[in-house]
């Protein structure tokens, strides 16, 4: 086993594994459509809207890890511990007014 030596140069701080973590992310996109009132009058519906919402649609980065948006704490700011990235979610919905 190597001996612990405080004068060893390998114990010095290094930027060997530091990389640019800048990124651009589209976090939430929501598209909706409200049907015209004249189509809803016969069914006695006041309003009807449809929507789709996507979270984490895309991320642009040169970062080599899984997710450039790191989970940081006061002790380990910017340290990538290999956590799973935030998943992409797709949701569909209906807003109905009677």
Q: Name which of 54, 55, 53, 51 is nearest 93 in CA terms.
A: 51
pLDDT at residue 10 is higher than 70? no
Q: Name which of 24, 29, 32 is nearest 89 in CA terms.
A: 29
Q: Which tens digits make up the pLDDT trace of 19-48?
A: 888 999 999 999 999 999 988 888 889 999
Scanning the structure block, which residue is given the tokens 């016969």? Answer: 42
Mean pLDDT of the chain: 85
Instruction: Report pLDDT for 72.
Output: 66
Q: What is the pTM of this model?
A: 0.69
pLDDT at residue 73 is higher than 80? no
pLDDT at residue 3 is higher than 60? no
Round the CA-based radius of gyration of the chain to a whole number and report it: 25
For 94, phi then psi, to 5°, come to -130, 130
Domains of the chain, by residue range, sit at: 25-57+87-98
């Amino acid at each position: 086993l190597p001996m612990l030596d405080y004068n060893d140069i390998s114990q010095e701080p290094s930027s060997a594994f530091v990389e640019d973590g800048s990124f651009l992310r589209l976090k939430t996109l929501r598209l909706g459509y409200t049907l015209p009132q004249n189509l809803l009058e016969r069914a006695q519906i006041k309003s009807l809207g449809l929507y789709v919402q996507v979270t984490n649609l895309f991320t642009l980065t040169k970062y080599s890890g899984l997710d450039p948006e790191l989970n940081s704490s006061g002790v380990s700011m910017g340290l990538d511990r290999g956590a799973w990235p935030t998943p992409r979610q797709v949701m569909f919905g209906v807003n109905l007014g009677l």
